[in-house]
Amino acid sequence: MAGPSDRVGAMTHAHLDCFSGLSGDMLLGALVDAGVKVEDIERPLQSLGVDGWRMRVGDKRDPRIGGTKVDVAVSPRTKQPHRHLSDIVEILDRADALPDAVRATARVVFTVLADAEAEVHGTTRDHVHFHEVGAVDAIVDVCGVVLGFSLLGVTSISCAPIPLGSGMVVCEHGEIPVPAPATALLLRGLPTVPGEGKHPTGELTTPTGAALVRVLCESYGTAPAMTLERVAYGLGTRDRGPIPNALRMLVGPRTDTEAQAVDVLTTTIDDLDSRLFGPLSDRLFADGALDVTLQPVYGKKGRPTVVVTVLSPPSRAVREALTERLFRETTTLGVRHRREQRTTLHRQFKTVDTEYGPITIKVGSLNGVVITSQPEFDSCLAAADAHSVAVRVVMDAARAVLAE
């Protein structure tokens, strides 16, 4: 079976079967159980600049299903200040060993957490004091999960209905009902199941787990059509009696041309400095956009106008982050959005060795047969500059190697 590094760029799907709950450490455990190496997560996370922690893999497995337990062990001497969202963003911004997309997604996760806490406490996201979710272990959990999915090559994620739990739980503010108020808000609009029946009372889904699935998942319900390659289990810490305290993750490629839901955001702008559209596109991609296009048209009164179209995963959190970006960085007064379906080929990035060095090629296949390929322009441009040749020469060389 291919390792995580071999899957990067492939159209790989992960389905989360949270039959016994959902938390950051359970997601980490499932990713490690699926083949991601702990050191490959831990090493880049050191650039966060928060000290006094390490990632620990437990040696116990559930006798019924196996699985992996991963904990973020924090030294009792580590300071745990109450952080604001700006403090978390500053920590993420300085983590230069993390890919930009990972940092951008982690920022969205903490932003939706801040919005939920703000609604609970009747304040704004910028004034929220993070308590448990601002602690070192929560920061590492969120960044580690987002990075782990990237290392596993996962390009889409779905989730089963999320169990609510029941009873009471003790937190920073005292004893509160389950699900915790912030968790309940984060699960608003998502399919859930009650925490009754075989489930004992207690917290099943944590705020961190709820925020992660809200941002990362594109659909909820049963697993989509996919070729199952891995079944992984991330173990929790509580005794659930007859039910294993675990999160099951199913991993494998989806059907090559399966229809996928996407959100389409559009806005029409006629009074923005044209030099600002380039940085805007870059930041929209960093916020999680699947694609950004600019189309010149004529608007009212014959004015030259630009239509900005942004393709987003069907995630409310990502859509809202992209909408906010459009409002903050353009002169638009309104953004339209709609849900559409798209059909895509199975896409994979391959690296070929040419006389000008390694070149990355994007390959599209249908039912296992390659029907289109295109060398990545930036990769070819860098090689062409290094060898003082035309870019098309490098592109032709890459295609020739691929065809061999």
Q: What is the pLDDT of residue 81?
A: 74
* pLDDT band with cut points at 50, 70 and 90 for residue 197: very low
Mean pLDDT of the chain: 86
| 222-230 average pLDDT score | 87
Residue 356's domain is classified under what CATH number? 3.10.20.300
* pLDDT band with cut points at 50, 70 and 90 for residue 325: very high
Within a 13 Å sphere around the CA of 210, how many CA atoms are in the beta-carbon half? 29
Judgement on whether residues 201 and 123 belong to the same structural domain of the protein: yes
* pLDDT band with cut points at 50, 70 and 90 for residue 173: low
**Token pair of 164 as six digits:** 């609510």
Q: Answer with the residue of higher pLDDT: 329 or 77.
A: 329
Judgement on whether residues 208 and 309 belong to the same structural domain of the protein: no
Judgement on whether residues 60 and 89 belong to the same structural domain of the protein: yes
Whether pLDDT at 97 is above 70: yes
Q: What is the pLDDT of residue 295?
A: 96
* pLDDT, tens only, 360-391: 888 887 766 778 889 989 889 988 999 999 99
Judgement on whether residues 41 and 164 belong to the same structural domain of the protein: yes
Last residue of a domain, one of 195, 225, 253: 253
Whether pLDDT at 278 is above 60: yes
Q: Answer with the residue of higher pLDDT: 352 or 143.
A: 143
Of the listed ranges 174-183, 200-209, 365-374, the one predicted with least confidence: 365-374
Work out how many domains the chain is built from and give that number.
3
Place of tokens 């703000």: 118
**Spatial distance between the Cα atoms of 340 and 327, rounded to a whole number of angstroms:** 22
Helix, strand or coil, per DSSP, at residue 383 = helix
Judgement on whether residues 110 and 165 belong to the same structural domain of the protein: yes
Q: What is the pLDDT of residue 4?
A: 39
Q: Which domain holds residue 26?
A: 4-253
Judgement on whether residues 399 and 339 belong to the same structural domain of the protein: no
Judgement on whether residues 212 and 300 belong to the same structural domain of the protein: no
Q: What is the pLDDT of residue 62?
A: 84
Whether pLDDT at 9 is above 50: no
The residue among 112, 107, 139, 145 whose CA lies nearest residue 249 is 145
Against a cut of 0.95, is the pTM above it?
no
List the beta bridge partners of residue 403.
none
Judgement on whether residues 236 and 367 belong to the same structural domain of the protein: no
Neighbours of 240 (CB within 10 A): 17
Q: What is the pLDDT of residue 258?
A: 58
Judgement on whether residues 273 and 162 belong to the same structural domain of the protein: no
* pLDDT, tens only, 131-143: 655 488 889 999 9
From residue 335, give the alpha-carbon distance in Å to each of 126, 280, 306, 338, 340: 24, 15, 13, 10, 16
Last residue of a domain, one of 293, 327, 343: 343
| 123-132 average pLDDT score | 76
| 299-319 average pLDDT score | 90
Contact 371, 364 (CB under 8 A): yes
Judgement on whether residues 213 and 268 belong to the same structural domain of the protein: no
Judgement on whether residues 331 and 387 belong to the same structural domain of the protein: no
Backbone angles phi, psi at 11, to 5 degrees: -85, 75
Residue 310's domain is classified under what CATH number? 3.30.70.1380
Last residue of a domain, one of 217, 236, 253: 253
Judgement on whether residues 307 and 364 belong to the same structural domain of the protein: no
